[in-house]
Each structure stands twice: as structure tokens, then as C-alpha cells.
Chains A and B, each alone.
Chain A
Amino acid sequence: MTKLIKGTTRRGALKTLAGAAAGTAALPLWARYAQAQSSEPIKIGFQQHSTGIGAAYGRWYGRTTEAAVKVINDGGGINGRMIEVIAEDDGTDPKRGAEVVEKFANQHNCDVAFGTLFSHVVIGSSPRAGELKLPYFVVSEGHHVASGMLNRYTLQPGITDVKSQVQAMAPYVSENLGKKVTMIFPDFAFGHDHRDFFSAAIEAQGGEVLEKIAIPPTETSFTKYFPRIPRDTEVLYHVMVGPAVLTFVKELGEFFGPSSPAIFGFIDSLEAVDIASPGLEFLEGTYFWEGNPRYAQADQTEYDKAFRAAVGVDDNGASISDPTDVSTYAHMFGCWETLHVIKHGLEHSGYQGPGDRAKLIEAVEALTDFPEGHAHPQGAKIFNGKTHQVFGHQYISRVENGKLVRVHTTSIEDTLYPDEVDYTTQPL
């Protein structure tokens, strides 16, 4: 079993190479599976950010995936077939990402591909997945799927998208923290999504955005931009990604000193970073969006408990074996939940082999409700088969005594918005 959940093995690569050399790769593969379907594993290509800027996320996506696959395999697999994960590094690069998708489809003969986080890798890879008709399940929280930019073979059933997350924050922010907001965000598409969707949502609440400060992503020092924050700002909204996030938050604290406005941030600014790091003391009393509360809450569900135990995360959201190794808790549950959706879809489509990929897509599109449970420890969700996007609860936490304590849970309705695409009209 452990062998099955390991990453790609040399044995696997050699086998495939030998197969290619013998010319069997051109044969219709489902013919082979049809004879041996009960024993052949379900192959899931895992596009992992093992190197590059996303490596901290990739590591935890890997651990979560491993844990979910172990749970599913221990429970009898999918229709009696074990899952085999074939992990390939994409270097957090869209070019390599597309190549990896091709490798999954044409060389490893994967049944599905899964697991991408960074938006540019998703968008660079998705066209190839669509052309190769390889179901591509992303765990990215980008708005790219629901915006209609991608294709019928790309789905995001395990994590909510940035548009719904951001707009669901506006009511709480305007009612509890203030109506005059200044936003600081990275000057790339992810940051622009925050800027556009939050500005619209806060205006709908009667608030306003005073200033929008876009930071160039190559930047490593930030203080020089902070004087742009207007003095009458009531709420500072920040979101930052990449290795310089800690510098950013620290310099923010040093800038304001004792007289800061209310601060509301996306946990992306501190994902995989210990809240108790030196220089972050000023975060006490500030607010964060969390996709999934990093610290075990007082009313922790048994599902969250089981999820933590399976992945190897303690009550502070860090690795059990190394408390300084902080997880990407607000995002990585998406891998766990997506794998369970894949399992569900494979079982309900009567999936036999790669010839049934279209049936798998239709089966997943037909799904609507994911109740909270062991398969969905983050909470209940609603899936929109037309836009291929899932919607769920969002959490707002406050830093109290160096820990994030949940203070608000949005309803799923707060996160909904009108459909922007109907992928089901596209041919399969």
C-alpha cells in the first residue's frame, strides 16, 4: 500500500519507457484495462509544486494528498481499485506544468490529473488538458475556472475561488471594522482579483476603498510604499504571496507602530509562517480570512480532528513531528476534498478506464451538494456543475494571544455570484 501512494517510481518510469519502445503506447489503452480492470490501480497524476516559488505549498499539498489516498485505499479504494499517485514536479512554472499534463496523459496514462495551486500554472496547463481530454482537477482558489477562461475538462470542486472568498468578507469588514478601506496587494492577476471584487463588494455595503496600493511582485522591501496609506484609513486590507510575505507583514507593523488602523488580511500573507515569529507581535487583535481555521477551535468537529490526525498536523496547524514546520492549512484541505470528489465521480460514472473520462466529467457536473463530513472536513459545500466551481463557508479569525480564533463564519449564500459561464454547453 505504501508503495502505491509514493510518488512516481523509477520502476514506473522504466516500465513506461519500455512500453513506448515496444510501440504499445499507440494501442487503445482501455482495451488493456478492460481485461484487468479489477486489479489495475486508478492513476492520479499529481502536478506538484515541489520546487520554485510554490514549494512550501507543494510540500503540504503532497502530504495532504498522501494522507487522503491512504484513507481512501484503506477504505477499499475506488470501486475496489487502489489509487496510485504519480507525482511530477512542475517547478511552479506554467510551461513545465503543461508538459507535466502531457506526460500524465500520454506517458503515464493517468486517469485524471489533479492538485495544481498557482493560477499561472493552472492557466498554462489547462488548454493541454482540454485538448488531451484529461480531466484536470485543480486546487487553486483562482477565479479562472468560474470565469469561463478554461474548458470543460478543468474543474475546481474542492476549494472555493477568490471571487467568492473576497466578496463574502465585505459585510463583516464594513459592519465591524470600518467603511474606509485601503488595500495593499501584489501587482499581478491574483491581487487584481482582490482589488476588483472587494472594491465592488465593499461599495455594495456602503463603504469605500480610499487607496489601492499594488506592490510589484519582484519587491523585497515594502516600507517605502506605506506612506501611500491615507491617514483616515479605518481598515487596512492586505494580501501578499511569495517568500517575502513575512518581511511585508513585519514592516507593516514597524511602520504603524502604536497607531494603526484595524487590519484585515488574507492568511495567504502568512501561510506556512508561524504567527509567533519575531516581529509579528503587532498582529495581536488583527483579523484574517482563513479558508480553514489553522488552530483547532473550541468547537472543533470530529471531521477536522480526523483530518488533522491523518495529515499529521497538530492543534496549532504545524507538523506533529516538527512544530516549526507550519502548514498551509487554509488551502491544503482542498486536496483532500478534491480527491474525495474524484472518488465519488469515478464511482458514480461507472468508470472503467480512460475511455470513460467524458462520463467522469458528466458525473462530477451532476453533483450539487457536499455535506460536511469526513470527506469534507472544512464544511459543507455547493457545487455548480455549469461553472465547475464549488462554493462554501469562509472563516474570519482574530489573533488572540498569538493564536487565530474564529470570530465569524459566512454563509454559503454570501459567497455566491451569478454564473459567468456554462461549460456543459461545450463538447466533450
Chain B
Amino acid sequence: MTASSRVIVLHLGLLALLFGLQFILPAYHHGNLARIMVLASYAVGYNILFGYTGLLSLGHALFFAAGMYGMGLTIQHMGFTPAPALIVGIVAGAFVAGALALLALRTVGVSFMIVTLMFAQAGYLTVLYFGEYTRGDEGFVIQQAQRVLWGVDLSNATNRYFAAWGLFSVSFGLSLWLVRSSFGRTLIAIRENEERVRMLGYDTYKHKLTAMIISGTISAAAGAFYGLLFGYAGASFASVQYSIFPLLWVLLGGAGTVLGPFVGTLFMFYLIDLSSGITSAYLLIAGLALVLLTLFAPQGLIGEIRRRFWKNLP
């Protein structure tokens, strides 16, 4: 088997495994995994900009929320059915990401972090400002009857799992294809040395712009699906916390790896869930785990595997 086909087998294998797991997992973990796959899609989107292009954004909650509210508000106030509502959410995310990119890409490094942070914060406050429609921090329920996609009730556990798996497969596959394409390789080169790439005659601005739009669109898709599958949209998903989460997940799993976002999300979810079952001081355990992980697996979990065993893992 060539190195390339081994990579394909590994990644398709994860999707097959996730598909198969639903038949054997007990109800609780079945539900968790559906949730994790949607959140991991968010992390996959984040990773494209951060892990592969080297731009650390602190504003991705804006895209996640654009997807969630684009979907939720059209269902709630305009009577949309889920399919068009999802499309509105995803397009809203792409649009917001493009608009922010036009402004934020004038900056790099820490200034890029702050510009994205400030716009995301303004987005969060905007959700509160239009409380008449969004119900602000309290949010609103997307009723069971409003969550039937082409006759499929998404509040049903099996259907939810399928939808989450579908979203994850698409974003995961897209991410794998992207980083193996020449476009993706250029992104990685920009991350390593933007100046040199520019001198080689590439339009790095256009590449970064495209990467940010793709990243924002995937994040928005995750937000839209999250709201639809779990029946709730609220302002907490637009808060700065939800910008830091994907950063944390990606760093834990391994920035710039295709598998990393999923592994990081899975790890963090169960770290909190299991430790909170043991003690009420679970944040202490979570904090210690994060510190230890940075000491002993500095590249993140998958990054460490790549460093030690599998050099050309994408």
C-alpha cells in the first residue's frame, strides 16, 4: 500500500467506524457522539484557518452563531422548513466570514486575533440588542414539528446521529481533500513563510481570503446543524467562550492535522463528562490534564503521533 492510500484508508476508516458505532453504543454515548461530531465539524472548520493557514482567530463564534441564527430565525419568524433554513444559515456564515475577512486580513498575528475578537463580541451584543427576535441570552426553542427535514424527524436519536455523521463526513472529507490539493499546500506554505510564497508569485491574500470563507462556512454549517439537531438557539453560543473552544480542541488534538479536531473534541468532551461524574471539582482535573498534555504531548494528540510514528500524516 502506498503512503497516500494508507492515509485515505485511515481517514475513511474513521468515518466507517463512526458509522458503525451507532449500532453498538448505549443510548447515552450514542447521543454524545452525535453532539461531538457536530462540534468536531466546527473544529475542522477552525483548523483550516488556524492549523493550515496559520491565522489564529478569536472570533469564530461569530460564524457558528451566524449559522445557528440564520437557520433558527428563518424557521422561527419566517416559517422556513429545515432545508432552506440550513442553507440560509450556511450562506449567512459564508457572507459574514467574507465580510470580516476583508477587514481582518489587513492585519496579522495578535492584531488579527483582536480584530476577530472585537467583531465577534459586537456580533454577540447584536444578538442581545435584537432581543425582540432572538430572545437574547435566553434564546428560543426550535420545536420538534419544525425540525422535520424531508419527512425525517431530526429529534429522533437515530436520525440525529445520521445527520451529524453526514455533516462530519462532508466537512472532514473536504478538509482532507483540501489539504492534499495544491491550494491546501499553498496554505501550508503561507503558514510557514508567507513572504516567500508571495515572492514565488502567489496571491497570498486571495488564498487567505478563500481559506477564511471556507473555514467560516464550515463553522456556520456546524452552528446551523447544532441548533437544528438539539432544538435550541441562544446567545451563549455567540459568546467569546465558543471562540476559544475550537482553538482548544484543535490544539489538543493537533493543529494542522485532519484527525486532530475530532480527537481533540472527543477528548475534551469526555474529560469534562467523566471527571464531573467523579468529583464536583472536575475543572481541577480538566485543568491538570491540559497542563500535563502540553508538557508531554506538545503537538497535540495526533500531532504527537505524526511526530513520532507517521511523518506524512496530513
Chain B residues with Cβ below 8 Å from A51 are: 283
Tell which of B129, B138, B235, B278 touches A13, judged by Cβ atoms closer than 8 Å. B278
Chain A residues with Cβ below 8 Å from B140 are: 123, 149
Q: Is the CB of B136 within 8 A of A188?
A: yes
Chain A residues with Cβ below 8 Å from B119 are: none
Q: Is the CB of B32 within 8 A of A120?
A: no
11 contacts between A and B (CB under 8 A): A23-B26, A88-B276, A89-B280, A95-B236, A102-B31, A120-B138, A124-B232, A149-B141, A188-B136, A189-B135, A189-B139
Tell which of A120, A150, A151 touches B234, judged by Cβ atoms closer than 8 Å. A120
- Tell me whether A127 and B141 are in contact in the complex, defined as CB-CB below 8 angstroms, given that A93-B236, A103-B28 are known contacts: yes
> Which of A10, A51, A131, A151 counts the most B-chain CB atoms under 10 A from its CB?
A131
Interface residues of A (CB under 8 A from B): 7-8, 10, 12-13, 20, 23, 25-26, 50-51, 87-89, 93-96, 98-99, 102-103, 106-107, 119-120, 123-124, 126-128, 130-131, 142, 144, 149-151, 187-190, 192, 216-218
B314 CB within 8 Å of chain A: no
Chain B residues with Cβ below 8 Å from A189 are: 131, 135-139
Interface residues of B (CB under 8 A from A): 26-29, 31-32, 35, 125, 128-129, 131-132, 135-142, 144, 155, 230-232, 234-237, 272-274, 276-280, 282-283
Chain A residues with Cβ below 8 Å from B277 are: 8, 10, 12-13, 88
Known: A94-B234, A188-B128. 18 other contacts (CB 8 A): A23-B26, A89-B276, A94-B139, A95-B237, A103-B273, A106-B28, A120-B139, A120-B234, A120-B235, A120-B236, A124-B139, A124-B236, A130-B144, A131-B155, A149-B141, A188-B235, A189-B139, A217-B137
Chain A residues with Cβ below 8 Å from B128 are: 187-188, 216-217
Chain B residues with Cβ below 8 Å from A89 are: 276, 280, 282
Q: Is the CB of B231 within 8 A of A188?
A: no
* Cα(A51)–Cα(B32), bound, Å: 21
* Cα(A401)–Cα(B27), bound, Å: 57
Which partner residue on chain A sits nearest B127 by CB separation?
A188
Which partner residue on chain B sits nearest A154 by CB separation?
B141
Chain B residues with Cβ below 8 Å from A7 are: 280
Q: Is the CB of B125 within 8 A of A107?
A: no
Q: Is the CB of B230 within 8 A of A188?
A: no
Q: Is the CB of A123 within 8 A of B232?
A: yes
Q: Is the CB of B136 within 8 A of A99?
A: no
Chain B residues with Cβ below 8 Å from A150 are: 141
Q: Is the CB of B138 within 8 A of A218?
A: no
Q: Is the CB of B232 within 8 A of A131?
A: no
Looking at the assembled complex, report how far the CB atom of A161 sits from the nearest CB atom of chain B, in whole angstroms.
Answer: 13
Tell which of A12, A99, A123, A218 touches B141, judged by Cβ atoms closer than 8 Å. A123
* Cα(A95)–Cα(B301), bound, Å: 25
Tell which of A25, A87, A94 touches B26, judged by Cβ atoms closer than 8 Å. A25
Looking at the assembled complex, report how far the CB atom of A47 sits from the nearest CB atom of chain B, in whole angstroms.
Answer: 12
Q: Is the CB of B31 within 8 A of A127?
A: no
Looking at the assembled complex, report how far the CB atom of A134 sits from the nearest CB atom of chain B, in whole angstroms.
Answer: 12
Dominant secondary structure at the B interface: helix
* Cα(A119)–Cα(B237), bound, Å: 15
Chain B residues with Cβ below 8 Å from A190 are: 138
Looking at the assembled complex, report how far the CB atom of B26 sits from the nearest CB atom of chain A, in whole angstroms.
Answer: 4
* Cα(A119)–Cα(B283), bound, Å: 23
- Tell me whether A142 and B138 are in contact in the complex, defined as CB-CB below 8 angstroms, given that A8-B277, A25-B28 are known contacts: yes
- Tell me whether A127 and B232 are in contact in the complex, defined as CB-CB below 8 angstroms, given that A106-B31, A120-B137, A189-B135 are known contacts: yes
Looking at the assembled complex, report how far the CB atom of A235 sits from the nearest CB atom of chain B, in whole angstroms.
Answer: 24
> Which of B28, B140, B236 counts the most A-chain CB atoms under 10 A from its CB?
B28
Looking at the assembled complex, report how far the CB atom of B117 sits from the nearest CB atom of chain A, in whole angstroms.
Answer: 13
Q: Is the CB of B136 within 8 A of A127?
A: no
Chain A residues with Cβ below 8 Å from B237 are: 95
* Cα(A149)–Cα(B143), bound, Å: 8
Q: Is the CB of B137 within 8 A of A20?
A: no
* Cα(A98)–Cα(B139), bound, Å: 14
Tell which of B27, B273, B278 touches A10, judged by Cβ atoms closer than 8 Å. B278
Chain B residues with Cβ below 8 Å from A142 are: 138
* Cα(A216)–Cα(B235), bound, Å: 13
Q: Is the CB of A128 within 8 A of B135?
A: no
Q: Is the CB of A99 within 8 A of B35?
A: yes
Q: Is the CB of B280 within 8 A of A127?
A: no
* Cα(A10)–Cα(B182), bound, Å: 51
Q: Is the CB of B125 within 8 A of A50?
A: no
Chain B residues with Cβ below 8 Å from A10 are: 277-279
Chain B residues with Cβ below 8 Å from A102 are: 28, 31-32
Looking at the assembled complex, report how far the CB atom of B125 sits from the nearest CB atom of chain A, in whole angstroms.
Answer: 6
Looking at the assembled complex, report how far the CB atom of A422 sits from the nearest CB atom of chain B, in whole angstroms.
Answer: 15
Q: Is the CB of A131 within 8 A of B138?
A: no
Chain B residues with Cβ below 8 Å from A99 are: 32, 35, 273
Q: Is the CB of B27 within 8 A of A106?
A: yes
Q: Is the CB of A127 within 8 A of B131?
A: no
